[in-house]
């Protein structure tokens, strides 16, 4: 990816150290900010993507807006679960405390945080992200961000992040090593009202989910493979998913494949 790393103006020593480490990890040029504007850096290095290390974490400036870690609706969804309300994703996954869940498309980790809360301390959530930049931002956020409740913060800390392509990673896993394997690929038809996801869409992997990957997931999953897509998406039929769950008024639904039955 065409990317450079820099800092805010007048960075502290710790911010400069973080920038150096991130540049090395992402194999990207480290640019001294000095008095340069981001526009100047963009022009000088012919790049549209600039990672700026700030006091609160990395912020990636893209042509479609700023990309940074946030938990989106995860906290509200967990509070709803605490209050006994229904969550369509949790129902589709069919998970309970102690379950092992593999999230093949981690992104910002919002769904994984909810899953981690449900499976609890005795469960396991592994999130895979093929794009190193997204994986890095999310991994840092999950370990550093403090939510308003200890339940949400604890759920974040328990998630294991793997920078890997699920097409390759699934091959390495034993049969039935997770209870559920979950995919939330880039929607074939975007939900454009989700403006906060536009920078993610710019940076993310756009490949459609393949039948081969679903077949691999069925070997790894002990109970279910679940795919998230837009309501009435043709992807469910293409991937052989005849069971589709979701709310009547929800824009997203979940295709479910039962395995091991």
pLDDT band at 156 (very low <50, low <70, confident <90, very high): very high
Distance CA 257, CA 171 (A): 19
For the chain, what are the domain ranges?
4-63, 74-258
Q: pLDDT tens digits, residue range 96-147? A: 999 999 999 999 999 999 999 999 999 999 999 999 999 999 999 999 999 9
pLDDT of residue 204: 67
Distance CA 205, CA 131 (A): 7
Q: pLDDT tens digits, residue range 42-88? A: 999 999 999 999 999 999 999 888 999 999 899 999 999 999 999 99
Distance CA 140, CA 19 (A): 13
pLDDT at 189 over 90: no
pLDDT of residue 104: 97
pLDDT band at 219 (very low <50, low <70, confident <90, very high): very high
4 touches 41 (CB < 8 A): yes
CA distances from 216 to 102, 118, 175, 184, 226 (A): 12, 25, 9, 16, 13
**How confident is the prediction for the chain on average, in pLDDT?**
92
pLDDT at 188 over 60: no
pLDDT at 260 over 80: no
Would you say domain 74-258 falls under CATH 3.40.50.11540? no
pLDDT band at 249 (very low <50, low <70, confident <90, very high): confident
**Reduced 3-state DSSP string for 16-59:** HHHHHHHHHHHCCCECCCCCCCHHHHHHHHCCCCEEEEECCEEE
Distance CA 113, CA 182 (A): 13
141 touches 58 (CB < 8 A): no
pLDDT of residue 223: 97
pLDDT of residue 248: 86
pLDDT of residue 64: 85
202 vs 170, which has greater pLDDT?
170
162 touches 127 (CB < 8 A): yes
pLDDT of residue 261: 54
Distance CA 111, CA 67 (A): 17
For residue 186, give both structure tokens: 């880039």
For residue 251, give both structure tokens: 């824009």
pLDDT band at 203 (very low <50, low <70, confident <90, very high): confident
pLDDT of residue 1: 63
C-alpha closest to that of 110 among 82, 84, 85, 145: 145
The pLDDT of 168-193, averaged and rounded, is: 83
The pLDDT of 148-158, averaged and rounded, is: 96
pLDDT of residue 193: 47
pLDDT at 199 over 80: no
pLDDT at 192 over 60: no
């Amino acid at each position: 990816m065409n990317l450079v790393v820099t800092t805010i103006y007048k960075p502290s020593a710790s911010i400069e150290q973080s920038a150096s480490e991130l540049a090395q990890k992402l194999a990207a040029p480290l640019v001294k900010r000095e008095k340069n504007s981001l526009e100047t850096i963009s022009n000088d290095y012919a790049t549209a993507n600039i990672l700026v290390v700030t006091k609160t974490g990395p912020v990636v400036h893209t042509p479609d807006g700023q990309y940074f870690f946030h938990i989106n609706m995860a906290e509200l969804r967990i509070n709803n679960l605490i209050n006994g309300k229904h969550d369509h994703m949790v129902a589709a996954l069919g998970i309970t405390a102690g379950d092992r869940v593999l999230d093949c498309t981690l992104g910002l980790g919002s769904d994984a945080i909810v899953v981690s809360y449900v499976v609890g301390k005795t469960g396991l959530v592994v999130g895979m992200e093929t794009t190193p930049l997204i994986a890095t931002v999310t991994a840092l956020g999950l370990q550093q961000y403090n939510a308003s409740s200890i339940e949400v913060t604890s759920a974040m800390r328990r998630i294991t992040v793997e920078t890997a392509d699920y097409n390759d990673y699934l091959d390495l896993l034993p049969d039935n090593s997770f209870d559920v394997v979950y995919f939330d690929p880039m929607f074939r038809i975007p939900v454009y009202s989700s403006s906060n996801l536009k920078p993610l869409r710019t940076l993310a992997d756009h490949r459609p989910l393949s039948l081969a990957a679903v077949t691999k997931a069925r070997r790894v999953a002990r109970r279910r493979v679940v795919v998230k897509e837009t309501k009435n998406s043709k992807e469910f039929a293409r991937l052989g998913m005849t069971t589709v769950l979701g709310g009547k008024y929800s824009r997203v639904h979940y295709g479910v494949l039962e395995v091991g039955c």
